[in-house]
């Protein structure tokens, strides 16, 4: 008779800061791998809390709650980069936070983000620091008379930014900002794309997803075509190379989404996010490993998947009321619907997405 002595399986526990859809989909991927998740976020009934039995409802600066997270978890990650730096630094001292506090902190400020891009030898959009109306006038002069004024902190999906030119009333524009900003020169891009890269602690392994094309409406991602139909082999390889260089230069532990402007003179890095990225959702249907599982594997220091395209895929974001079109998508062959369980559908709010398998490619799109 074979020896049936049982082996005790001790599940690993992953802490998740933030409770939105990226946390929800990362948690679902973690559970698939037998990893338990403990969330920490201030809100209740969140997309994460609906799928995760253990969410500590607390402010990010509640140090008792942070201690609980440290005690309960093997590794702590995040799905949202704007966690107060003090909380990140505190968690970082436990040695369990991935990506590290320094890297995440750097992406919270557009200035330090651009400086990191430059340190890695890559090209950000031209920029000037702006801290006053006269500074704005000077920056506009330097950058050709027009640009996009952006708050250094807490801007996303077009929030905290405004197109400006020397013809505007700059005193009035500045009164609407009145905080540390950057003016970015207008980049004349041909199209926009992104690459998501995963790196294990110590750089033991690094894997990149292929370059995808991103289309925006009102500064919000509306759809992604993967792999990017407009990219030749050389451009796709160069984007991947730059993503790898950035991940190495930052000592990434986890996942990094890098957005590019594709111009006639090459690639310009727009911005980066140290977490799963909306432009990677297509991988749930179209790639050999999806970005959420890759996120979990990277932070848990598990072997990474080798992302390859299984089927060209179009990802469409369901923003605001578009989430009510679920029956349309459910009756669409080859469409995979994801809804995030959010209770109110404000205009422009990311409510869900659809991954549409497109084996015939993207001609006409
Ligand atoms: P962001 O939130 O900074 O990524 O900006 C959202 C979108 O606004 C980008 O995806 C672009 O479509 C556009 N945008 C932002 N910055 C620039 C720029 N410097 N030049 C041209 N377009 C920009």
pLDDT tens string 297-344: 999 999 999 999 999 999 999 999 998 889 999 999 999 999 999 999
- CB crowding 174-197: b at 16 or more within 10 Å, else e: beebeeebbbbbebebebbbbbbb
Summarised one tens digit per residue, pLDDT across range 265-282 is 999 999 999 999 999 999
Give percent above pLDDT 90 in the chain. Answer: 92
Summarised one tens digit per residue, pLDDT across range 220-255 is 999 999 999 999 999 999 999 999 999 999 999 999
Structural domain 126-185, CATH architecture: 2-Layer Sandwich (3.30)
CA-270 nearest atom, ligand 1: 4
**Which letter does DSSP use for residue 304 in this model?**
P
Report the chain's mean pLDDT, rounded to a whole number: 96
What was the pLDDT predicted at 11?
87
Pocket test for ligand 1, best of 113, 123, 148, 212 (most atoms within 8 A of CB): 148
Distance (Å, whole) CA 358 – CA 316: 12
pLDDT of 2 strictly over 70: no
CA–CA distances in Å: residue 73 to residues 10, 78, 105: 12, 13, 22
What was the pLDDT predicted at 233?
97
pLDDT of 156 strictly over 80: no
Q: What is the mean pLDDT of residues 124-133?
A: 97
Q: Is residue 7 within a helix (H) or strand (E), and if so which, with residue range?
A: none
CA angle 190/193/197 to nearest 5° reads 155
Residues 6+ apart with CB under 8 A from 165: 140, 145, 146, 147
Cβ pair 133, 106 in contact under 8 A? no
Q: How far is the CA of 259 from the centre of ligand 1 (A)?
A: 10
Name which of 157, 148, 158 is nearest 182 in CA terms.
Answer: 148
Name which of 174, 152, 148, 147 is nearest 161 in CA terms.
Answer: 148
CATH number of the 13-97 domain: 3.40.50.20
Beta strands across the sheet bearing 146-151: 127-130, 181-185, 146-151, 161-165
Q: State whether the beta carbon of 160 lies less than 6 angstroms from ligand 1.
A: no
Structural domain 191-357, CATH architecture: 2-Layer Sandwich (3.30)
Q: What is the mean pLDDT of residues 148-174?
A: 90
What was the pLDDT predicted at 154?
86
pLDDT of 355 strictly over 90: yes
CA-157 nearest atom, ligand 1: 2
Distance (Å, whole) CA 248 – CA 206: 9
Name which of 216, 260, 227, 264 is nearest 241 in CA terms.
Answer: 260
What was the pLDDT predicted at 230?
96
Q: How far is the CA of 191 from the centre of ligand 1 (A)?
A: 11
Pocket test for ligand 1, best of 219, 259, 263 (most atoms within 8 A of CB): 219
What was the pLDDT predicted at 9?
85
Delimit the domains of the chain by residue range: 13-97, 126-185, 191-357
CA angle 60/65/67 to nearest 5° reads 115
Protein residue with least CA distance to atom 14, ligand 1: 219
Q: How confident is the model at residue 29 (pLDDT cuts 50, 70, 90)?
A: very high
Beta strands across the sheet bearing 36-41: 55-57, 36-41, 13-17, 75-78
Q: State whether the beta carbon of 278 lies less than 6 angstroms from ligand 1.
A: no
pLDDT of 4 strictly over 70: no
Residues 6+ apart with CB under 8 A from 71: none
pTM over 0.85: yes
CA-159 nearest atom, ligand 1: 2
């Amino acid at each position: 008779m074979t020896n049936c002595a049982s082996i005790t399986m001790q599940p690993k526990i992953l802490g998740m800061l933030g409770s939105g859809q990226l946390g929800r989909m990362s948690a679902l991927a973690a559970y698939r791998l037998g990893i338990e998740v403990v969330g920490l976020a201030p809100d209740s009934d969140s997309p994460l809390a609906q799928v995760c039995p253990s969410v500590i409802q607390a402010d990010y600066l509640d140090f008792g709650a942070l201690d609980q997270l440290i005690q309960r978890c093997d590794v702590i990650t995040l799905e949202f980069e704007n966690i107060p730096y003090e909380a990140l630094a505190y968690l970082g001292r436990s040695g369990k936070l991935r990506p590290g506090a320094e890297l995440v902190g750097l992406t919270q400020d557009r200035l330090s983000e651009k400086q990191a891009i430059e340190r890695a030898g890559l090209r950000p959009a031209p920029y000037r620091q702006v801290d006053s109306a006269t500074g704005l006038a000077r920056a506009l002069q330097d950058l050709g008379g027009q640009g996009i004024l952006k708050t250094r902190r807490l801007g996303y999906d077009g929030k905290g930014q405004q197109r400006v030119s020397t013809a505007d009333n700059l005193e009035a524009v500045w009164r609407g900002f009145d905080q540390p900003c950057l003016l970015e020169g207008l980049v004349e891009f041909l199209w926009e794309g992104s690459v998501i890269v995963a790196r294990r602690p110590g750089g033991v392994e690094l894997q990149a997803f292929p370059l995808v094309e991103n289309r925006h409406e009102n500064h919000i991602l509306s759809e992604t075509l993967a792999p990017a139909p407009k990219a030749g082999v050389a451009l796709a390889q160069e984007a991947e190379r730059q993503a790898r260089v950035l991940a190495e230069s930052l000592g990434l532990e986890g996942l990094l989404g890098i957005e590019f402007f594709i111009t006639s003179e090459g690639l310009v890095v727009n911005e980066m996010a140290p977490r799963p990225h909306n432009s990677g959702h297509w991988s749930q249907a179209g790639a050999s490993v999806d970005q959420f599982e890759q996120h979990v594997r990277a932070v848990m220091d598990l072997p990474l998947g080798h992302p390859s395209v299984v089927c060209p895929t179009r990802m469409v974001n369901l923003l605001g009321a578009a989430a009510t079109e679920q029956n349309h998508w459910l009756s669409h062959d080859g469409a995979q619907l994801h809804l995030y369980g959010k209770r109110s559908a404000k205009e422009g709010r990311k409510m869900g997405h659809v991954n549409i398998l497109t084996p015939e490619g993207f001609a006409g799109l």
